[in-house]
């Protein structure tokens, strides 16, 4: 038979051996064709007929053939699908159900069916859902097919963007609905009765989950005695209980604009454990003595206690009074509270001085808060600066967190630690070279040490602008959550571990239990590395969800600025080959200025991300940290991107 001909078999093998296979990412276009991207510099054309077998973002293996003076990619094997679990909107066509993935490019309708075990809702046009891909053309199916596994919300819901964003990152959309304990556990802890002491709390005006209270006393010779009392949810929640398991899954309270999803049941976080005024509450406390120059005494005491907060104060009120006591609209209700505030401010000044000399300080940058109505519409964006009262609480919390980090390190050698190791070892040489080129002489080995990093940061902070600080940031590692102690270069500290927000952070609950074990003279249970890995991932997901909601709200808010030609002051924060990214100083929104909106003669421009500048033949025109005036040109609601141009070119 012909098929048994050995010469034909040999010919087939020869032809097959000449076919080249490559792996890459599919990139769709607004038209029917696409490309297989191998690298930033290399890609292959995928014909329209074969684009029906793949989806934008799929990682595939394709055969490459030379046809009509062009290299063509033919999809052969799926390595990793772009869509597995995804969010999409329902569309109905010809009595069939389809789901449109929210981030598909271009719009791609995937036939689907609801999972009968999960769906108790009759799906309607425009409904937001979660789907799972069941079939893919490169795995033997004729077409894409998905299963709807969860209903999110309908398109008429004003808060749909919030629910969709949370679903996108597989985050909870509500606080835990679990029956909360009202009786405390028998922990065999002696609790000191501090209910007569004038503890105060200082928070934002709308804070309900109050987790820290402060008491301070002048004990003479320039020394201050500070007691920081922290809410104690582990007094009610046993390790391994239902609530503990839920908290260990959520790991953080998720704060979004106009919405927060608590880690613990609200009855616990906003009532039973919250350090509300005039309510007797169990706490875990730290007592530390600070000298006039801000140095803490080595004899730090951790203990369990009862307290009753005597005043619930608000950051702005306290700051107004401290800045201008005579003209402030708010005043402390009595002399005792006045004395507490003044002594705490004295502590702030001394601790600020200590950190400036022995550690590192935060760079000041305001937070921006969206003022929303009930429909989720942006009424205004408010800049919230870190004022005196914010710094009082900040310095107090940092101080006792350092104390806890030292205690856990010395007694157990483990805990939940925040670790930042400074420069990436792979990039220290580049960082040192760049700094030398800008007049700061340093050595890669020096900046790899905590002392060397501190010295460098102080030199950079003394610069007339923040340009070099922004440039070296790309050479640094990100902070990590670890079970073993390590330095935190960003804070300039040898060790750092938090325990001051146990209502909001599960890692702080873990550290509470370890501190209690030390108080009782027991052995602590070492937390698993799997827990810290999960914490890092959940923190990343929460931040991405917040970023996405922020982008949406900024887009909505600034859309009205297009017709007004309003000018905004903005800081250049990044340079790419296509233009500049800027941050509006009034509200924190990020906008992009395309290269064509910077100079008419674009051919003369050089855009450098590495050097952080735009220049032409005459020199540098713009660089990162420059302040420019911009006008909003357009807002792309589908991608939540804001496009601006320089006001001088408008």
Higher pLDDT, 75 or 104: 75
The Cα-based distances of 88 to 114, 130, 148, 479 in angstroms read: 13, 6, 9, 33
Q: Verify that 425 and 411 share a domain, yes or no.
A: no
pLDDT of residue 15: 47
Largest CA distance in the chain: 108
Residue 174 lies in a domain: no
pLDDT at 347 over 70: yes
Read off the tokens for 304: 């369990």
Residue 484 lies in a domain: no
Q: Verify that 435 and 304 share a domain, yes or no.
A: no
- Cα–Cα distance for residue pair 630/565, rounded to 1 Å: 9
Instruction: State the CATH number of the domain containing residue 51.
Output: 2.40.50.140
Rg value, the chain, Cα: 29
Domains in the chain: how many in total?
Answer: 5
Residue 75 lies in a domain: yes
Q: Verify that 511 and 464 share a domain, yes or no.
A: no
Residue 503 lies in a domain: yes
Q: Verify that 464 and 509 share a domain, yes or no.
A: no
The sign of the torsion formed by the CA atoms of 283, 289, 295, 297 equals negative
- Cα–Cα distance for residue pair 604/428, rounded to 1 Å: 33
In the predicted model, what is the mean pLDDT of the chain? 92
Q: Verify that 223 and 292 share a domain, yes or no.
A: yes
The residues carrying an active-site annotation are 203, 209, 211-212, 315, 504
Instruction: Tell me the pLDDT tens digit for each residue of 306-319.
Output: 999 999 999 999 99
Q: Verify that 140 and 282 share a domain, yes or no.
A: no
pLDDT at 13 over 80: no
Q: Verify that 282 and 429 share a domain, yes or no.
A: no
pLDDT at 1 over 50: no
pLDDT of residue 564: 84
The Cα-based distances of 496 to 388, 394, 407 in angstroms read: 23, 14, 11
Instruction: Tell me the pLDDT tens digit for each residue of 451-483.
Output: 999 999 999 999 888 899 988 999 999 999 999
Q: Verify that 412 and 425 share a domain, yes or no.
A: no
Instruction: Tell me the pLDDT tens digit for each residue of 401-434.
Output: 999 999 999 999 999 999 999 999 999 999 999 9
Beta carbons of 389 and 202 less than 8 angstroms apart: yes
Sheet holding 613-616, edge to edge: 606-608, 613-616, 619-623
Residue 10 lies in a domain: no
pLDDT of residue 10: 59
pLDDT of residue 601: 66
SS (H, E, C) 307-347: EEECEEEEHHHHHHHHHCCCCCCCCCCCHHHHHHHHHHHHH
Residue 554 lies in a domain: no
Q: 176: Cβ–Cβ under 8 A, 6 or more apart, which residues?
A: 243, 246, 247, 250, 262, 263, 264, 265
pLDDT of residue 317: 97
Q: Verify that 28 and 98 share a domain, yes or no.
A: no
* 245 φ/ψ angles, rounded to the nearest 5 degrees: -65, -40
Mean pLDDT across the stretch 525-550? 96
Q: Verify that 235 and 125 share a domain, yes or no.
A: no
Strand stretches in 394-470, DSSP E: 417-419
Of 41, 63, 80, the residue that ends a domain is 80
Q: Verify that 217 and 241 share a domain, yes or no.
A: yes
Of 506, 522, 548, the residue that ends a domain is 548
Of 40, 56, 80, the residue that ends a domain is 80
Instruction: Tell me the pLDDT tens digit for each residue of 117-138.
Output: 766 678 889 999 999 999 999 9
Residue 515 lies in a domain: yes
Kindly tell me the number of DSSP H helices and DSSP E strands found in the chain: 15, 31
pLDDT at 283 over 70: yes
pLDDT of residue 202: 98
Instruction: Tell me the pLDDT tens digit for each residue of 199-229.
Output: 999 999 989 999 999 999 999 999 999 999 9
pLDDT of residue 529: 96
- 3-state SS assignment for residue 429: helix
Mean pLDDT across the stretch 380-400? 95
Q: Verify that 368 and 507 share a domain, yes or no.
A: yes
Instruction: Tell me the pLDDT tens digit for each residue of 108-122.
Output: 889 999 987 766 678
Q: Which domain holds residue 90?
A: 85-156
Q: In which band, very low, low, confident or very high, does the pLDDT at 635 lie, cut at 50, 70 and 90?
A: very high
Beta carbons of 209 and 265 less than 8 angstroms apart: no
Instruction: State the CATH number of the domain containing residue 94.
Output: 2.40.50.640
């Amino acid at each position: 038979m012909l098929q048994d001909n050995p010469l034909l078999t040999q010919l087939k093998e020869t032809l097959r051996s000449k076919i080249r296979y490559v792996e890459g990412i599919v990139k769709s276009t607004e038209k029917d064709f696409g490309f297989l991207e191998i690298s930033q510099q290399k890609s292959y054309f995928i014909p329209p007929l074969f684009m029906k077998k793949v989806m934008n973002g799929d990682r595939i293996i394709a055969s490459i053939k030379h046809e009509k003076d062009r290299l063509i990619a033919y999809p052969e094997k799926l390595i990793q699908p772009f869509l597995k679990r995804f969010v999409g909107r329902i569309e109905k066509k010809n009595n069939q159900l389809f789901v449109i993935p929210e981030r598909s490019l271009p719009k791609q309708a995937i036939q689907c069916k609801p999972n009968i075990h999960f769906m108790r809702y009759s799906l309607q046009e425009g409904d937001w859902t979660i789907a799972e891909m069941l079939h893919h053309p490169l795995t033997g199916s004729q077409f894409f097919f998905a299963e709807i596994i969860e209903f999110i919300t309908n398109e008429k819901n004003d808060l749909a963007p919030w629910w969709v964003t949370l679903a996108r990152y597989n985050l909870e959309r509500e606080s835990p609905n679990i029956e909360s304990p009202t009786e405390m556990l028998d922990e065999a802890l002696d609790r000191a009765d501090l209910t007569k002491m004038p503890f105060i709390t200082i928070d934002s005006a709308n804070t309900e989950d109050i987790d820290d209270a402060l008491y301070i006393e002048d004990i003479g010779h320039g020394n201050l005695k500070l007691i920081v009392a922290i809410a104690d949810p582990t007094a009610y929640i046993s390790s391994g209980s239902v609530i503990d398991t839920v908290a260990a899954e959520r790991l953080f309270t998720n704060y979004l604009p106009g919405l927060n999803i608590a880690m613990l049941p609200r009855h616990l976080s906003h009532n039973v454990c919250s350090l509300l005024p005039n309510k007797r509450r169990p706490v875990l406390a730290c007592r530390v003595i600070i000298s006039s120059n801000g140095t803490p005494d080595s004899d730090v005491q951790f203990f369990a206690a009862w307290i009753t907060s005597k005043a619930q104060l608000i950051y702005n009120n306290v700051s107004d009074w401290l800045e201008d006591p005579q003209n402030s609209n708010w005043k402390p209700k009595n002399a005792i509270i006045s004395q507490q505030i003044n002594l705490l401010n004295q502590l702030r000044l001394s601790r600020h001085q200590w950190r400036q000399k022995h550690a590192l300080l935060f760079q000041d940058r305001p937070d921006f808060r969206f003022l929303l109505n009930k429909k989720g519409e942006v009424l205004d964006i408010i800049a919230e600066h870190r004022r005196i009262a914010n710094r009082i609480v900040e310095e107090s919390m940092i101080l006792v967190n350092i104390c806890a980090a030292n205690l856990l390190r010395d007694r157990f050698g483990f805990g939940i630690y925040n670790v930042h190791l400074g420069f990436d070892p792979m990039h220290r040489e580049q960082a040192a070279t760049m700094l030398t080129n800008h007049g700061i002489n340093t050595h890669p080995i020096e900046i790899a040490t905590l002392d060397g990093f501190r010295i460098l940061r102080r030199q950079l902070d003394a610069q007339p602008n923040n340009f070099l600080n922004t440039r070296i940031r790309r050479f640094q590692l990100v902070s990590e959550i670890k079970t073993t102690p390590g330095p935190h270069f960003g804070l300039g500290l040898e060790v750092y571990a938090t325990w001051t927000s146990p209502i909001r952070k599960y890692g702080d609950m873990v550290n509470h239990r370890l501190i209690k074990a030390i108080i009782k003279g027991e052995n602590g249970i070492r937390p698993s590395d799997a827990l810290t890995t999960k914490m890092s991932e959940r923190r990343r997901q929460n931040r991405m969800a917040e970023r996405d909601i922020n982008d949406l709200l900024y887009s909505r808010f600034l859309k009205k600025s297009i017709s007004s030609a309003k000018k905004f002051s903005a800081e250049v924060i990044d340079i790419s080959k296509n233009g500049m990214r800027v941050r509006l100083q009034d509200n924190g929104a990020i906008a992009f200025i395309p290269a064509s909106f910077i100079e008419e003669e674009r051919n003369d421009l050089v855009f450098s991300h590495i050097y952080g500048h735009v220049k032409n033949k005459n020199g540098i025109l713009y660089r990162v940290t420059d302040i420019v005036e911009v006008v909003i040109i357009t807002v792309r609601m589908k991608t939540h991107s804001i496009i601006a141009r320089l006001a001088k070119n408008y």
